[in-house]
Amino acid sequence: MAGTGHAHLRDGDRVLSVKDLVVEFGVSRHATVKAVSGISFDVLRGETLGIVGESGCGKSTTGRAVMQIPRPNSGVVEFEGSDLTELGNAELREARTRVQMIFQDPISSLNPRRTVRDSVLEPLAIWGKGTKDERLKLVDEILESVGIDPKRAAESRPHQFSGGQCQRISIARALVLDPTLIICDEPVSALDVSVQAQVLNLLEDLKETYGLTLVFIAHDLAVVKNISDRVAVMYLGKLCEVASSDDLYAQPAHPYTNLLLDSIPEPDPNADHAASQVIGEPPSPVDPPSGCRFHPRCSYADDVCSAEEPQLRPVGTDHFVACHHPVEVQVSANPTN
Amino acid sequence: MTSRETGSVQISRAEATEPLLVVDNLSTHFPTERGVVRAVDGVSLSIKRGESLGIVGESGSGKTVLSRSIMGLLPAAAIRSGSVRFAGTEILDLPAKRMRHLWGAEMAMVFQNPLNSLNPLMKIGKQITEPLKLHLNMNRSHAKATAVRLLKDVHIPEAEQRLNQYPHELSGGMRQRVMIAIALACGPTVLFADEPTTALDVTVQSQILDVINEQRTDRNMSVILVTHDLGVVAGHTDHVAVMYGGKLVERAPTRTLFANMKMPYTKSLMRSIPKLDNPSHTRLATIPGRPPDLVNPPDGCRFAPRCAYAQDRCHDEEPPLAVADDPDHYYACWYPVGSPEFEARDAELRAAGDPRVDAGATI
């Protein structure tokens, strides 16, 4: 199938390796939403992979497809050596204890009727880990490590905590089964900047303490840059560019990455506020454009772009781009200084 | 008859003497079971015709309630006090019947979520022509032609066809453009935009902010942009007002503010934003704690309990708004950025590697 290539896949200690992932949803008898169309990526042990893109690009669907909610239409999701798409329901449940997920809205992802300590405790009780006392001790330890007072957690329900605190509690619940990989789906986008900074710092600390590997999905490029080692840029179900975090932002090669970076409002009134150069809005994933899916909005597009789908190819050390006309030249013209 | 004739507001006469909109000591309180929520507490500001003012703050700072208090769009239980003068006329105590002549015609608002603000059962065309017929007494064909022009003004392609579409047929960015077109329909002199781009993607966000700015210049209209995003105000406003705990804590021309922040809260907010210029894994400065409870706000400065630079005085005495070097720059702080007390404490915190100041690059 016409994927976006495998050139960016690596050898080494891979925790997660996704190949040619396809997720489609039927919306009516004649239409399917092509949410994810053959993307591949891998995450090495201890690494944070950032997945960034606009709404509707398939980034959340990708994260959920790794968890097999729902199971993808095709493709391989290899986690610690076993293909999750091949596993039966019982094996999958067991595997999911080692892949956890944190969601965007921290308040609605916790049960409003239970105390938050019970919510954090539940996974341990379900899996019968340790004795009751051991479980409580572990839960209190983990709540402490995410900055929540265990005593308060024992007697309070989610609505008694702020959004930032609820997100800490969700993180504690994800940590309690000692996972290898945590998929964070927009974990800070509902939070105020001051709280966002606290949660981002916390994730960095926990990654260190618990030896975690993270997939961090977000639309905010500055947030993704801050937390990630490697970043994948998605557009309409495809990967545009994959590179190390610092490299991607210093030398964005894909026109779409450039546009995304230029669109960020910088907290500096002296920054260049060139009128936005983006043409229109993302098209519908029901009927994605031919060739390069970005070509209708791209100012560099020509006939090749509408006819042929670009494959990911290297443009530098650990820097891959799926574009017929990558724009390396724009880098030096970047008006940051 | 238009609102300009029936309403008590006479724009041209008052304009020469004072700014278009003057808010003086405005407070908005909500009685609740827990006590009185002081959502806005003694805020004063003014805006000239054609100017844009950004109101920045975190959630719960009172920025949205402030903008709605100015417009008079509050639930009946809300208690307002102080003064709001629009084009020389006190509008705080005007009954809703009189305010109707101002809403839409003189003051318009663009809300955060366009899908919730548009009527899903009404075609776009009807939603734009409604205020034109009501306020400007246009006939059907005139209103329709104006609606097409308005949609073109906000860069909606195929404007004629759009009139017959329903909101669900448009994308989020297009819906927000329609909202702006509706808000602009009667040629308001003040446009309130309450987080107009928060629900939109970055590439669309910059387009929408550009449209608002373009229309501000074309129409010599004032814009009040309410947002949590310092990046958005930096590029799109002339003045910035920073809110915290229902109070206005700093106000300055945008360039002055970003070059010379006085209030430690503004500085801390700025430091906690992840910046693209910093390498990945740069430790972010944080503001510990959470915004104050507006039923029982702390004594003294409301930011003091979270402030790394607070001293005894800050917890006891509330700082008044003081004037900085730039006479248009006001701040409410006893020990502002740049004062000897602040700098001494800052050096101390940095030496100790305190998480509230960033270890890396400063701004």
Phi/psi-derived region of residue B315, left when phi > 0, alpha when psi is between -120 and 50, beta in every other case: alpha
Phi/psi-derived region of residue A128, left when phi > 0, alpha when psi is between -120 and 50, beta in every other case: left
Nearest beta carbon to residue A264 from set B202, B258, B288: B202
Digit-coded pLDDT (tens) for A137-185: 999 999 999 999 999 999 999 999 988 899 999 999 999 999 999 999 9
Look at residue B298 and tell me whether its pLDDT is greater than 60. yes
Whether A304 has its CB under 8 Å from any CB of chain B: the answer is: no
CATH number of B3-243: 3.40.50.300
Q: What was the pLDDT predicted at A274?
A: 60
Look at residue A82 and tell me whether its pLDDT is greater than 80. yes
Q: What was the pLDDT predicted at A273?
A: 60
Digit-coded pLDDT (tens) for A285-324: 888 999 999 999 888 889 999 999 999 999 988 999 999 9
Q: What was the pLDDT predicted at A270?
A: 83
Residues of each domain in chain B carrying CATH 3.40.50.300: 3-243
Whether A261 has its CB under 8 Å from any CB of chain B: the answer is: yes
Digit-coded pLDDT (tens) for B77-123: 999 999 999 999 999 999 989 998 899 899 999 988 887 889 999 99
- State whether A263 and B274 contact (CB < 8 Å): no
Whether A193 has its CB under 8 Å from any CB of chain B: the answer is: yes
As for the ipTM of the complex, it is 0.83
Q: What was the pLDDT predicted at B5?
A: 41
Mean pLDDT, range B19-39, rounded to an integer: 95
pLDDT band for position A275 (cuts 50, 70, 90):
low
Maximum distance among all Cα pairs of chain B, rounded to whole angstroms: 71
Nearest beta carbon to residue B285 from set A197, A245, A249: A197
Mean pLDDT, range A83-102, rounded to an integer: 94
pLDDT band for position B7 (cuts 50, 70, 90):
very low
Q: What was the pLDDT predicted at B226?
A: 95
Q: What was the pLDDT predicted at A276?
A: 56
B interface test, pick of A47, A49, A189, A194 with most B CB neighbours within 10 Å: A194
Q: What was the pLDDT predicted at B13?
A: 46
Mean pLDDT of chain A: 89
Mean pLDDT of chain B: 89
Cα of B24 to nearest chain A Cα, Å: 28
Closest chain B residue to the Cα of A264, Cα to Cα: B202
Q: Count chain A–chain B contacts defined by CB atoms under 8 A.
A: 135
Mean pLDDT, range B164-175, rounded to an integer: 90
- State whether B201 and A192 contact (CB < 8 Å): no
Query: To the nearest whole percent, how much of chain B has pLDDT over 70?
Result: 94
Digit-coded pLDDT (tens) for B223-241: 999 999 999 999 899 999 9
Q: What was the pLDDT predicted at A262?
A: 86
